[in-house]
Structure 1
Amino acid sequence: MTSEATILLYHGVTATPSEGIENFSGKHVSAAAFDKQMAFLKEHANVMSLQDMSQALQEKTELPPNTVAVTFDDGFRNNNSVARPILEKHGIPATFYISTGFINTSRLFWVDRVEHAINTSPLKAIELSVEGNRITLDLSSDERKITSVVAIKTRMKTMPPEQRDQTLLELEKACQSTVEPSGVENYQMMSWDELRELHASPLLEIGGHTVNHEIMSYLAPDELEFEITACLDTLRSELGAEIRDYSYPEGQSEHFNQTVIDRLKAHGITLCPSAMHGTNSAGSDPFRLKRIMVGFMGTAFPLPDAEHIPAR
């Protein structure tokens, strides 16, 4: 017996072929890989809802080996159309964290817009002004496009939202793509009807993930209050359910702090996992739980004896 517990973090599960460098990161794992992963969990793991796992960890209850919870961030359409049927097939509970400002809209996450602009640019290189400096991004091959996407996203994640959005517009203009991102299936978000269908499954729970997927520790107090309150109020109204769970956008140690945690607790949130890599032991803080982002940038499916299970 052990008190170690693993929380798996997914964003999407795709049954759609990708063009060029789309989904190079593995943010959307393939349906075939996800099916094998969930079949492995059903056969070899002690799968719990995240609420039950968090309570057991807080109470320092002894947990069997390979205790696992499954989570998703953001609210991509394929969560319902592809992931849900696989989860239901294998009887696997999961929690889905939703950025409400994207549901039932054609909005795309800025990171997907960056990927799409560079992926579909007809140019071999572009110049861009970033924080007062002129930089060149090499787009001459898929490998160099990937390097450029990673580099510019890393810089943009440190920017205030207004500066990041302006940089994004300049990037899209410089890339001169004529391919609309709205046609890319893996970038699409759920409608409210699709989210209600997901929520109707007795295996699946819904949590908040802000309105606009902004980094919570970077926000002014009124902005933070809006991102929490509006997200929770909308989910509770649209789903007719109490929302107890939340997760931090980006979710690394610098992306949340005690102020964020205190405001979440004030709004009835009882747990909020991070995206920091690792497992969790007895007594783990429910607002600092670690997760493993399966498939992302090659991250392996983490359970012992699962070497034959594809990461993505």
Structure 2
Amino acid sequence: MNNWINDRVSLISKILTKGLWNSNATILMYHRVADLKYDPWLVGVSPENFEEQVQVMREYPVISMQQFVNNLKEGKLSRSVVITFDDGYKDNFYNAVPVLAKAGLPATFFIASGYTGRQKQFWANDLDSIFLTPGPLPERLEINTKQIQFSYDLGEENFISKDPIKQFQNWIAWESSPTKRQSLYVEVARLIKSLPPEQEEELLEILYQWSGKKKMIDPANLMMNENELKGLATDGLFEIGGHTVSHPELSAFPSNIQLEEIRENVHFLETVINRPIQGMAYPYGAYNKETIQAVKMAGLQYACTTQQKPTYKNESLYTLPRLRVRNWNGAAFKKRIELRLKLGV
């Protein structure tokens, strides 16, 4: 109860000191527009709910990311909404873009170029297959390689005792881990985020061998190819931004690797779409001082985080916060947007 009161007092204090008029613009963060069996990272919005959300957004001034940045530079933030998508999933192109185009709403797509046009899915899809699908797992995981040392005991919880869809469908990875199997999933996810690409692939191969499961690439989990990116770029409504090459947790790497990830990503995208890349989004929202310096050295104007907080007129262009959009229907989405635009929460 005391924590709730303290939170309310803090909110009121922010409103009084910063002013409601300073917290009336928000950047929305999407990842996927698809029906997902499991969604522990809250990256999915169903096509049905997305259409409802777009109808709600038509009630507000929706501006491009570049217009938002220009407004922020000039200190002219207004009551407005910006739409962004991270990663570059194909479902963005086929499920989101037609709906946005029909409504005439601009959006920016931040692309992890190491996945563009490849038969490669994000590690989270692999972990879903390994840990959240039926079939027993060995009671103990032991990894001892030159780069990775890791162990975990599942014990008798190596079996899934219930329907996995019912058991895991509403599980959110960062909120709780009710079983050892889910705890192991989270521990492996924490480890894999900080690995370079070759070690990530090595770890996934080890996990598949350990689990006895065969790696299957689901076409629904693939990223856009170059032609699809070109198609986005030729539509005046849509902008493309950077999201690194391999989608690493940038702050876990030395400055030279961070700069290389950002520069190579920008170069690839500019070559494909024949247009300058103006900004990026940090994978996992992770950054440090060296990351911001690398973004500037790469010639980018802005960078987005995953921080769930309001945007104020004095916001740094290199740590722009965003609102994670959940799989809300239109009514729930409208309530959330109103809270952000009116109260900045």
Shared fold (TM-score, shorter chain, > 0.5) = yes
The residue number in structure 2 matching 1:13 is 33
Does the 8 Å contact 2:26/2:311 carry over to 1? Answer: yes
The residue number in structure 2 matching 1:28 is 44
**Residue type of the alignment partner of 2:121:** L
CA distance in 1, matches of 2:284, 2:314: 24
CA distance in 2, matches of 1:238, 1:161: 22
Structure 1 residue 181 corresponds to structure 2 residue 181: no
CA separation of 1:8/1:234 partners in 2, compared to 1, >3 Å: closer, same or farther? same
Q: Which structure 1 residue ranges, 4+ long, deviate > 6 Å from structure 2?
A: none
How many residues are paired up?
A: 293
Partner residue of 1:276 out of 277, 302, 307: 307
The residue number in structure 2 matching 1:227 is 261
Q: SS of the residue aligned with 1:23?
A: coil
CA separation of 1:63/1:52 partners in 2, compared to 1, >3 Å: closer, same or farther? same
Does the 8 Å contact 2:46/2:327 carry over to 1? Answer: no
CA separation of 1:207/1:127 partners in 2, compared to 1, >3 Å: closer, same or farther? same
Structure 1 residue 3 corresponds to structure 2 residue 22: yes
CA distance in 2, matches of 1:10, 1:177: 30
Structure 1 residue 55 corresponds to structure 2 residue 70: yes
Residue identity (%)? 27
**Residue type of the alignment partner of 1:2:** W
CA separation of 1:305/1:110 partners in 2, compared to 1, >3 Å: closer, same or farther? closer
Does the 8 Å contact 1:114/1:172 carry over to 2? Answer: no
Q: Deviations over 1:247-278 (max 9, x none)?
A: 11110xxx211221112112210000101112
Q: Deviations over 1:53-83 (max 9, x none)?
A: 122223221513xx21110010101111111
The residue number in structure 2 matching 1:309 is none
CA distance in 2, matches of 1:77, 1:68: 23
Rg larger in 1 or in 2? 2
The residue number in structure 1 matching 2:242 is 208
Structure 1 residue 134 corresponds to structure 2 residue 158: no
Does the 8 Å contact 1:58/1:285 carry over to 2? Answer: no
Does the 8 Å contact 2:196/2:248 carry over to 1? Answer: no
Q: SS of the residue aligned with 1:101?
A: helix
Does the 8 Å contact 2:292/2:318 carry over to 1? Answer: yes
After TM superposition, give the deviation of residue 164 of structure 1 in Å.
Answer: 4.7
CA distance in 1, matches of 2:194, 2:266: 26
Structure 1 residue 157 corresponds to structure 2 residue 193: yes
Q: Deviations over 1:213-265 (max 9, x none)?
A: 112122233322321121111111111001111111110xxx21122111211
CA separation of 1:153/1:132 partners in 2, compared to 1, >3 Å: closer, same or farther? closer
Structure 1 residue 84 corresponds to structure 2 residue 85: no
CA distance in 1, matches of 2:276, 2:211: 44
Q: Which has the larger share of helix?
A: 2
**Residue type of the alignment partner of 2:30:** Y
CA distance in 1, matches of 2:296, 2:51: 35
CA distance in 2, matches of 1:36, 1:102: 30
CA distance in 2, matches of 1:293, 1:264: 22
After TM superposition, give the deviation of residue 167 of structure 1 in Å.
Answer: 3.4
The residue number in structure 1 matching 2:252 is 218
Please, which moves more after superposition, 218-227 or 152-161?
Answer: 152-161
CA distance in 2, matches of 1:234, 1:40: 35
CA distance in 2, matches of 1:213, 1:297: 26
Two-structure CA RMSD over aligned residues (Å): 2.6
CA distance in 2, matches of 1:232, 1:160: 19
After TM superposition, give the deviation of residue 117 of structure 1 in Å.
Answer: 2.0
Q: SS of the residue aligned with 1:167?
A: helix
